């Protein structure tokens, strides 16, 4: 089913908003565009930097291209605020390009969910900062961030 409920569902509490953020982080750290796309409505609307992405099929294409460019991608998200069916997060992720240049990307996102817990709107602002390989902070094996790995606040981001 393409629109199966994605708990936790709105309206969000502090606990369920934090859970929703971690589930989103886990999905993106999978670097699986099809899997990630199932968290969005079929007609979702995104603004990601200067790109506008509309619909689940476009989300898949966008993410596939992103993870072909942004290699060894590792992401940490943190809840910033929430209300009813909206969540704001801040995040950082580290990645390198095909020439071995490392970057840390900082940003924030505003999310709006439908009654099934699917994200229907995602607005992201992101800045990239070149870093030296020895300045990387995210070294866990590719995939889900370990539960004992520090979050953004603990890392001073």
CA distance 44 to 25: 18
Whether the pLDDT of residue 2 is over 90: the answer is no
155 assigned to some structural domain: no
* Domain containing residue 83: CATH number: 3.10.450.50
Q: How many CB atoms lie within 10 A of CB 104?
A: 18
pLDDT at 3: 85
Residue 9 located in a structural domain: no
- 121-143 pLDDT, tens per residue? 999 999 999 999 999 999 999 99
Phi/psi of residue 45, each to 5°?
A: -125, 130
**1 has a pLDDT exceeding 80:** no
Tally of structural domains, the chain: 1
Q: With H, G, I as helix, E, B as strand and everything else as coil, classify residue 22.
A: helix
User: Which residues have C-beta within 8 Å of that of residue 142, sequence separation ≥ 6?
Assistant: 29, 31, 72, 74
Full residue range of the structural domain in which residue 43 is found: 14-91+108-127
Query: Would residue 40 count as lying in a domain?
Result: yes
Q: Considering the domain boundaries, does residue 102 fall inside one?
A: no
Q: Is residue 114 domain-resident?
A: yes
Q: pLDDT tens for residues 5-22?
A: 999 999 999 999 999 999
Residue 64 lies in a domain: yes
């Amino acid at each position: 089913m393409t629109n199966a409920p994605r708990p936790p569902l709105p309206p969000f509490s502090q606990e369920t908003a934090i859970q929703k953020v971690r589930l989103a982080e886990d999905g993106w750290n999978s670097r699986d565009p099809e899997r990630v796309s199932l968290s969005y409505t079929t007609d979702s609307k995104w603004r990601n930097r200067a790109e506008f992405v509309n619909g689940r099929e476009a989300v898949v294409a966008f993410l596939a291209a992103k993870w072909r460019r942004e290699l060894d991608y590792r992401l940490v998200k943190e809840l910033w605020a929430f209300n009813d069916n909206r969540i704001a997060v801040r995040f950082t992720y580290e990645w390198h390009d095909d020439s071995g240049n490392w970057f840390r990307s900082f940003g924030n996102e505003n999310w709006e969910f439908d009654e099934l817990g699917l994200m229907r709107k995602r607005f992201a602002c992101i800045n990239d900062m070149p870093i030296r390989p020895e300045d990387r902070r995210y070294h866990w094996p590719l995939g889900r961030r370990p539960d004992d790995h520090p979050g953004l606040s603990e890392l001073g981001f």
